[in-house]
């Protein structure tokens, strides 16, 4: 069934992922698409749920998993919701269609490889959906939901591995930008609603074959929703989210233009006492230190960095170089998404995930 939906909806997803969604629909009675609003204040738990009036949104969780008597693992799961307002003939739909994409990955340095899986399905197929007002997202037997007690529960029986994890919040959400209104270019109207939940305490199991490994660890949750203008037509950004060993956390990101030059940068840093500092474009800097070339796609990714976040400067080193994610089965995208360490003066100070997009040519 997964491959059937991938074949049927590949062309639609290509358009949704790389073509901007119009700010309003033209005729046909289709409800207008909403834009991020700088006066809006994110509400919990309502905004953990779906926002179908926006063009795109995602639920993203990544983290490090410690295994008894073994190397740590990295994991990443993402649900994307994409709104389609026009049919394949270009005409407006009377009701917008919602399409879901799911990505899952497990980084295993002992194997020197990343296992990954991906899915795509429209909501009207009955194979995918997300509740409004509460976190409950599902694609077949993949699910992410929040229990009444507050824990996030992940169930992902993926190709080659299974994630069964429970994530307990230890800190309140971190609102990125101006109370969660996150500017993405020099134009202040180009923005998303964006919050993170760092320092999630993880326990559960990772199953490989017939072996179930008990794991503990720390994870990071990102929630973002927006209607994409030109800046996301060809995604080009670098992002890092780090859970610091002292209990603090930071997020930093930069957006690049079509020539690869820095266009905008932003970040958030929360210290060990819980004080949040929002960082503007002059307070965040990414300097590449080392590159890796994929033997599968030939794409060159800068996998090691020096990142300045406010008054701190850290070195980012990947758990392993090969953490490329080939998502062409569900989109045109090939990106690098991997577990990474943060170091200060050569000393480990945190663990998290690094994301690199837009380094390869546009896929046909």
We report the CATH number of the domain holding residue 185 as: 2.40.370.10
Distance (Å, whole) CA 99 – CA 334: 20
- Which two structure tokens, joined as six digits, stand for 260? 């690869």
Instruction: Give this prediction's pTM.
Output: 0.90
Percent of the chain with pLDDT over 70: 87
CA–CA dist 91, 84 (Å, integer): 11
Query: Confidence band (pLDDT; 50, 70, 90) for 96?
Result: confident
What pLDDT does 113 receive?
86
Q: Which of 108, 130, 124, 106 is nearest to 116 (CA)?
A: 106
Handedness of CA 53, 227, 118, 239 (dihedral sign): negative
Identify the DSSP state of 321.
Answer: S
**CA 171 vs CA 122, 252, 273: distances in Å:** 34, 19, 11
Section 308-325 average pLDDT: 98
CB-based contacts of 269, cutoff 8 Å, min separation 6: 248, 249, 250, 251, 276, 277, 279, 309, 310, 312
107: in domain: yes
Angle at 108 between CA 221 and CA 249, to 5 degrees: 30
Q: Find the DSSP H helices in the chain.
A: 2-18
Q: Domain containing 289: what range?
A: 2-10+36-356
Does 217 reside within a domain?
Answer: yes
pLDDT of residue 151: 98
CA-wise closest residue to 26 among 90, 122, 113, 75: 90
Asked if residue 23 belongs to a domain, the reply is no
Domain membership of residue 229 (yes or no) is yes
pLDDT in tens, 121-179: 999 999 999 999 999 999 999 999 999 999 999 999 999 999 999 999 999 999 999 99
Look at residue 10 in the predicted model and tell me its pLDDT.
36
pLDDT recorded at residue 290 = 98
The domain total for the chain is 1
Answer whether residue 16 is part of any domain: no
Domain annotation covers residue 278: yes
In a domain, 19, yes or no: no
pLDDT over 70 at 325, yes or no: yes
Q: Say what the pLDDT of residue 234 is.
A: 62
Residue 67 has pLDDT above 70, yes or no: yes
17 lies in some domain: no
Q: Are strands 161-168 and 152-158 parallel, antiparallel or unpaired?
A: antiparallel
| Predicted pLDDT of residue 7 | 34
């Amino acid at each position: 069934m997964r491959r059937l939906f991938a074949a049927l909806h590949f062309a639609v997803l290509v358009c949704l992922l790389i073509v901007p969604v119009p700010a309003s629909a033209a005729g046909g009675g289709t409800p207008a698409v909403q834009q991020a609003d700088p006066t809006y204040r994110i509400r919990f738990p309502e905004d953990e749920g779906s926002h179908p009036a926006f063009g795109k949104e995602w639920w993203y969780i990544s983290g490090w998993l410690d295994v008894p008597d073994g190397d740590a693992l990295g994991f990443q799961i993402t649900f994307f919701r994409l709104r389609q307002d026009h049919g394949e003939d270009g005409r407006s739909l009377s009701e917008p269609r919602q399409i879901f994409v799911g990505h899952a990955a497990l980084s295993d340095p002992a194997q020197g490889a990343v296992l990954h899986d991906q899915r795509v399905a429209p909501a009207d197929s009955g194979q995918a959906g997300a509740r409004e007002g509460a976190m409950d997202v599902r694609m077949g037997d993949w699910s992410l939901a929040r229990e009444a007690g507050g824990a996030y529960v992940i169930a992902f029986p993926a190709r080659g591995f299974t994630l069964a994890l429970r994530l307990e919040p230890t800190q309140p959400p971190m609102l990125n930008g101006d109370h969660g209104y996150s500017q993405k270019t020099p134009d202040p109207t180009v923005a998303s609603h964006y919050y993170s939940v760092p320092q999630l305490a993880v326990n559960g199991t990772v199953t490989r074959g017939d072996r179930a490994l008990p794991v503990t660890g720390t994870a990071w949750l990102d929630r973002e929703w927006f209607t994409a203008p030109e800046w996301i037509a060809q995604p080009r950004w670098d992002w890092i989210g780090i859970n610091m060993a002292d209990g603090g956390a930071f997020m930093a990101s930069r957006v690049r233009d079509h020539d690869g030059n820095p266009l905008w940068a932003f970040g958030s840093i929360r210290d060990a006492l819980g004080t949040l500092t929002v960082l503007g474009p002059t307070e965040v800097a990414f300097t590449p230190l080392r590159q890796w070339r994929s033997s599968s796609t030939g794409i060159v990714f800068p996998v090691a960095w020096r990142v300045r976040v406010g008054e701190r400067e850290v070195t980012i080193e990947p758990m392993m170089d090969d953490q490329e994610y080939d998502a062409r089965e569900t989109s045109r995208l090939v990106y690098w998404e991997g577990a990474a360490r943060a170091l200060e003066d050569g000393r480990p100070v945190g663990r998290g995930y690094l994301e690199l997009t837009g380094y390869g040519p546009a896929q046909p």
